[in-house]
Amino acid sequence: MHIKILHILVPALALLFAAVPAFAQQSLQNRLFQRAIEATKCEEIPNNGRYCTYKFGKVLQVGIKDVGGSDTVVGFHNSNINNELYAVLYFGCVSIVPGHAHPKNYDRDYGVFISPKTGTIYRTSSECQASLK
């Protein structure tokens, strides 16, 4: 009787422990996405169009002038690879990715992407790139 229970219990526990890292990664990605949403501030500037800033505390600040307009400019006001997060341009989108000071608890897909055309934050680079078309 006990051996039959072990045959069921051991594989079930293995599946549970295998799912924990994936859940932790998703949770980490969700927290970064939420943090990016909270970091966003957009306003209309006369004669300059929509201006959006994305401020992650003191470690990272990006600004996009004339979002979606004909004279869009991306400014990396404060971005340093040695901080927790930094920004890079990735296939036309601004990518917020982990820097050297970030704990090494993320996978290679960790990051969020900002479209200069819409000002919207996306979870994946492919979603962001689709917004540029």
Residue 26, Cβ density class (10 Å: 0-12 exposed, 13-18 middle, ≥19 buried):
exposed
pLDDT for residue 19: 41
pLDDT value at residue 3? 58
pLDDT at residue 4 in the model: 58
pLDDT score of 1? 52
Task: Tell me the two tokens of residue 64.
Answer: 């996009």
Stretches where the chain sits below pLDDT 70 are 1-26
